[in-house]
Structure 1
Amino acid sequence: MTSKYPEIQGGGSLILAWQVRNKKILVVGGGEVAAGRIVNVLNADAKVTVVSPRAGLNDEVAYRVDQKQVEHIDRKFEPSDLDGVDMVLAAVDDPEASTQIYKLCKEKRIPANIADVPPECDFYFGSVYRDGPLQIMVSTNGNGPKMANIVKKRIAASLPSNMGAAIQKVGALRKKLRKVAPLPEEGPKRMQWMSKVCEKWSLDELCSMTDEDMDTLLEFYKPGTVPTLAEVRLYEPGGVYEGPFLI
């Protein structure tokens, strides 16, 4: 018998957009893998501390240190480094040291990722495509990082070049809408109306939307209608909107 509900597929991960703004993240190691981890968490506005002897830093990590984008502790990891830390990213070529770090994190209930050791990871890093506010992560749940990168590139190649810009404009419109209709009970109506805008307007139209266009468009929120961009630009305050015509 076929179920009308989604089939459960075990073995996956709960993929989330983890907000780490201003969180304290410790990166242990200073090589190529650590460099990639640092970029990921700096892009998420975290406060990053790198623990590694200066001699072990590659050029990119040394650049982050010199530019004061991260704090640097010039020595090997010590257990006291975990004090006050919200997350740990270990990327060292020492399996014994990596396991020690993971065990200490488990004791202190600090989420940790031990590079290239899936059993010692509370979460994985996927292959990420970024276009402004748009982020798409592909995860193979630790099975094939290179395959994740291949899939990511194929997805990115299929997306319109203006997708990120369109999303940015939609985000600005949503902020304005919340000011127009701030009450919690307006939530479902806000979501439905925004969905109509995204479905009716093309990406190019969303990208070309100005602040003035947004303010005019918001006048149609209360009646729950969505005019075209052309109609928005022809609209005069006090006019009446009926179907595809402004009178």
Structure 2
Amino acid sequence: MNTLFPIFIKLDQVQTLLVGGGNVALEKLQALVQQNSAVQLTIVAKEVSTAVQLLAEGYAGINIQVRAFKSADLDGKQLVIAATNNPVLNEEIRECTRARNILLNAADKPDLCDFYLGSIVRKGNLKVAISTNGKSPTIAKRLKELLNEVLPEEIDETLELMSQLRDRLKGDFDEKVRTLNAHTKSLIGKDED
């Protein structure tokens, strides 16, 4: 059973550490900057690939430090992503983050993770996160492709109109919910009780 609680994090307000500088780190970096170009991120690795360096150069909130990880790197951090192929280092990072109550994602190591980075579908202001509870990133990727195809590009216009309607509604909470439900039920072609 998937007991994960999905949340959306404001990466421009959370200090994040990425440990690693190779291909897996590049994949994680791409995911982070795609979701928020104002990400506040420190990258620490003994070796940092040219691709990671080039991508990071385009973002003011990203700082690269080419050196080994040390526990002081966790000072002031709220999220950590370990993207290394070093199991001993991953375990060290796990111990350090646990001692400081900092959330950790360890790439391809579900047992070490406090959270997973799901597949993301984004259409304007609509964002859908997909999780397979760490079981199959490939299935999550295929579902992402499917949702990207079936969600209309116009969904952002609908979201804007619904936001305007919500702002104009008067009455108590229950009445507002009933009105909004009446306006949105046609989106999925299903009657609501």
Q: TM-score, normalised by structure 1?
A: 0.66
The aligned counterpart of 1:50 is 43
CA separation in 2, counterparts of 1:146 and 1:195? 34
The aligned counterpart of 1:102 is 94
Q: For residues 167-220 of structure 1, what are the alpha-carbon distances to aligned partners after superposition, in whole Å with 9 as ceiling and x for unaligned?
A: 23323443x33xx75xxx7333223222223346x79xxxxxxxxxxxxxxxxx
Alignment: residue pair count = 185
Q: Cα distance, 1:157 vs. partner?
A: 1.8
SS at match of 1:22: coil
Check the 8 A contact 1:132/1:168 in 2, yes or no. Answer: no
The aligned counterpart of 1:123 is 115
Point out where structure 1 has 5 or more consecutive residues left out of the alignment: 1-9, 204-247
CA separation in 2, counterparts of 1:157 and 1:173? 27
Q: 1:51 to 1:191 in 2, by over 3 A?
A: same
The aligned counterpart of 2:179 is 193
Q: For residues 94-137 of structure 1, what are the alpha-carbon distances to aligned partners after superposition, in whole Å with 9 as ceiling and x for unaligned?
A: 11111110111001110000100000000111111111111112
SS at match of 2:127: strand
The aligned counterpart of 1:14 is 5
SS at match of 2:172: helix
* Greater Rg over alpha carbons, structure: 1
The aligned counterpart of 1:66 is 57
Q: Cα distance, 1:79 vs. partner?
A: 0.7
CA separation in 1, counterparts of 2:31 and 2:172? 35
Q: Cα distance, 1:65 vs. partner?
A: 2.7
- Please show how residues 51-200 of structure 1 align to structure 2 within 5 Å: 51-53=44-46, 55-59=47-51, 61-67=52-58, 68-174=60-166, 176-177=167-168, 181=170, 186-199=172-185
SS at match of 1:72: strand
Q: TM-score, normalised by structure 2?
A: 0.83
Point out where structure 2 has 5 or more consecutive residues left out of the alignment: 189-193
CA separation in 1, counterparts of 2:54 and 2:176? 45
Query: Aligned-pair RMSD on alpha carbons?
Result: 2.4
Q: Residue 52 of structure 1 aligns to which amino acid in structure 2?
A: A
After TM superposition, which residue ranges in structure 1, 4 or more long, deviate above 6 angstroms?
none
Q: For residues 144-187 of structure 1, what are the alpha-carbon distances to aligned partners after superposition, in whole Å with 9 as ceiling and x for unaligned?
A: 1112111221222222232233223323443x33xx75xxx733
Check the 8 A contact 1:30/1:58 in 2, yes or no. Answer: no
Q: Cα distance, 1:20 vs. partner?
A: 4.1
Greater mean deviation of Cα atoms: 32-41 or 105-114: 32-41
CA separation in 1, counterparts of 2:123 and 2:95? 37
Check the 8 A contact 2:48/2:66 in 1, yes or no. Answer: no
Q: For residues 62-82 of structure 1, what are the alpha-carbon distances to aligned partners after superposition, in whole Å with 9 as ceiling and x for unaligned?
A: 123322341122212111000
CA separation in 1, counterparts of 2:63 and 2:165? 37
